[in-house]
Structure 1
């Protein structure tokens, strides 16, 4: 009886795994153009320092937001509020602010 149940379970598993296979999509002959909408900015040492501060200070408490998620006007109060929580001085905050502005 146990062997019949095991055989039935194996056959069922085989049928289910074969029945859920996805069909391969047909490749098109024309290449699809890919547009890079991200703006890449070569980071100066000052901007690199701001990036490091942003990544290390802000990521301690929450996920990092893409700079383009907010406008420059929206970033100002966010950074001011977070400066107090992250215990950053004005120089560090200016460095982070310059980095974020460079990414907009």
Structure 2
């Protein structure tokens, strides 16, 4: 009797799981906003070096933030604090600062 109930339950479960129809999500007519993530600025060799330093030095410890997430005034103390942690010299920090400022 138990085996018949188990078989019946398995068959019902199989039929129900195969018989359900999934509906596709309906597309809205509202346009999706597109946010500009970075400015299209031609990178000079100095800016390219700053970008390289930013991506390689900063990403070792945390995710990278978009440059436009903070203002220039907000970036100054962040970069100063991170310079010590990343063990970057002043020349490297100037390159990173110039790169970030070029993306604002």
Q: Does the pair score TM above 0.5? A: yes
Q: What does 1:10-21 align with in structure 2 at a 5 Å threshold?
A: 10-16=11-17, 18-19=19-20, 21=22
Aligned residues: 101
Match of 1:96 in 2: 96
Alignment match, 1:25: 26
Residues 17 and 75 of structure 1, relative CA distance in 2, 3 Å threshold: farther
Gaps of 5+ in 2: none
Specify the alignment match of 2:36 in structure 1. Answer: 37
Q: State the TM-score, normalized to the length of structure 2.
A: 0.76
Gaps in structure 1 of 5+ consecutive residues: none
The root-mean-square deviation of aligned C-alpha atoms, in Å, is: 2.7
Which digits, 9 at most, give the CA deviation of each residue in 1:74-97, with x for residues without a partner? 100110111011100011000000
